[in-house]
Amino acid sequence: MLSKLFESLYLKVFVNIVISRTQTSVYIEISNKKGVLNHAEEVFDTTTINDKMQAFINSYTQETPFNYISLLDTSEFQGAAPTCSAKDFSKFFDADSSKYLCYLNKWAAYTSKSDLQLVKKEYSKIGLDFIFSPFTILARFFKDKIDKTAAMYILVEDGCVSLAVFNDTELLYADYKRFKHAEVAEYSLEDDASSDDDTLNFNGSIDLDNMDTDINMGELDDFADIGDIEDLDMLEDMDDFSEIKDKHVEELTTEKNTGAEMSDTETFGEDYERFLLIQSSVNHFYKDDKFESIFIEKVFIADGIDSGSELKKYLEEEMFLSVIVRRIDLSAELCDLAKAELK
């Protein structure tokens, strides 16, 4: 009761961090009990925290003890399993090397323990309260569709795609795929080599050690779920698309990037790569007996980068899918997720 009283007297600051291939976006929202008072956003040309980014964040968080820092998970070894039964986890991921959490007692999100430790170290100077996955974003952003539409749901980020297949609110399949050439932040654990503590307690707000227990998150529409990366060597199996792939690669080799901004050719090429990643993932979903398959006819895309119309065109013309695209502000979605966690 007393803590709630103090909380009502102070401003709340929400810091939301989204990492892309070469940059990091930091979106800050300041609010009180009446609503949002102000917001700010800055993009830094780094994929790890530097002095400039830290100073920007501290300039807001030092003004109030009620500050909450969220990060969108970029772990390569993340995923979601269509079960909350511990005895079935081994079919989908290595539970010993992962942290996991059940969502609505229906499916489990997981991520790499070692990657969480790396993130903890990288952001130790500012601390992290929440780490959300791309699948959390999908579950929240498309809740109106997931509740009534059997379909594939895709989140498009810079350098990666996250997809999930839902049927009658049940998760059937989830996958996280990164471009082959995507740059990722590299951290070192050498300073922690002698530490016996591999836990991740982010500012006391969320104890990620409890992620390996079943938790009902029914009150939170915003749970983050995380999809595993498939071996991109699967692209070699796509005989049905080899003709268009060869043609497209040949076209791309004749183009040159002549400006600092991304050219139409680069956008075209990246949309094609996204298409190939999605196509290979769908093939895996259909072929792997451990997943309950449905025939995918509809696709809903949350576009976080204004990727253009080519991806939609590929999916419609080459896979005969009905595609609907919605623009998504990833930073704002992260902020909403953090607020929901605090309720």
**What confidence tens digit (pLDDT) does each residue in 25-70 have?**
999 999 998 899 999 999 999 999 999 999 999 999 999 999 999 9
pTM: 0.75
Residue 35, token pair as written in the block: 């609503």
- What's the pLDDT at 271? 93
Residues 36, 16: contact at Cβ < 8 Å?
no
Cα separation of 233 and 3, whole Å?
A: 53
pLDDT given for residue 308 in this prediction: 77
The more confidently predicted of residues 22 and 212 is 22
Query: pLDDT confidence of 175, banded at 50, 70, 90?
Result: very high
**173-196: average pLDDT:** 61
3-state secondary structure of 225: coil
**Average pLDDT of the chain?**
79
Is the pLDDT assigned to residue 1 strictly greater than 60?
no
Residue in this structure with the two tokens 């003004």, named with its chain if needed: 63
Q: Are 129 and 120 in contact (CB under 8 A)?
A: no
Contact 16, 338 (CB under 8 A): yes
* Residue whose tokens read 């623009």: 327
Measured distance CA(238)–CA(172) in Å, rounded:
23
d(CA 7, CA 339): 14
- The pLDDT-based confidence of 195 (bands split at 50, 70, 90) is very low
Q: Contact at 8 Å (CB) between 168 and 147?
A: no
* Weakest mean pLDDT among 99-108, 127-136, 148-157: 99-108
pLDDT at 145 over 70: yes
The residue among 149 and 255 whose pLDDT is bigger is: 149
Across the range 246-253, mean pLDDT stands at 41
Pair 307, 274: CB distance under 8 Å: yes
Q: What is the pLDDT of residue 26?
A: 98
Q: Is 317 exposed, middle or buried (0-12, 13-18, 19+ CB in 10 A)?
A: exposed
Residue 126: CB atoms within 10 Å? 17
- Per-residue confidence at 208, pLDDT binned at 50, 70, 90? very low
Query: Residues 222-238: what's their mean pLDDT?
Result: 38
Residues 6 or more apart in contact with residue 24 via CB below 8 angstroms: 17, 18, 43, 44, 46, 47, 48, 49, 53
Tokens representing residue 138 in the block: 């999908």
Instruction: Please indicate whether residue 184 or residue 197 has the higher confidence score (pLDDT).
Output: 184
pLDDT value of position 336: 96
The pLDDT of residue 44:
98
Q: Say what the pLDDT of residue 227 is.
A: 38
Whole-number Å distance between alpha carbons of 289 and 54:
47
Q: How many residues does the chain have?
A: 343
- Provide the 3-class DSSP secondary structure of residue 45: coil
User: Which is more confident, 253 or 75?
Assistant: 75
Query: In which band, very low, low, confident or very high, does the pLDDT at 16 lie, cut at 50, 70 and 90?
Result: very high
Which pLDDT score, from 0 to 100, does residue 104 have? 80
pLDDT mean over 182-200 = 44
Instruction: Check residues 50 and 205 and name the one with the higher pLDDT.
Output: 50
Q: What is the mean pLDDT of residues 155-164?
A: 95
Helix (H, G, I), strand (E, B) or coil at 221: coil
Taking residue 216's Cβ as centre, other Cβ atoms within 10 Å add up to: 12
On the question of pLDDT at 112 being above 80, the answer is yes
CA atoms within 13 A on the CB side of 109: 27
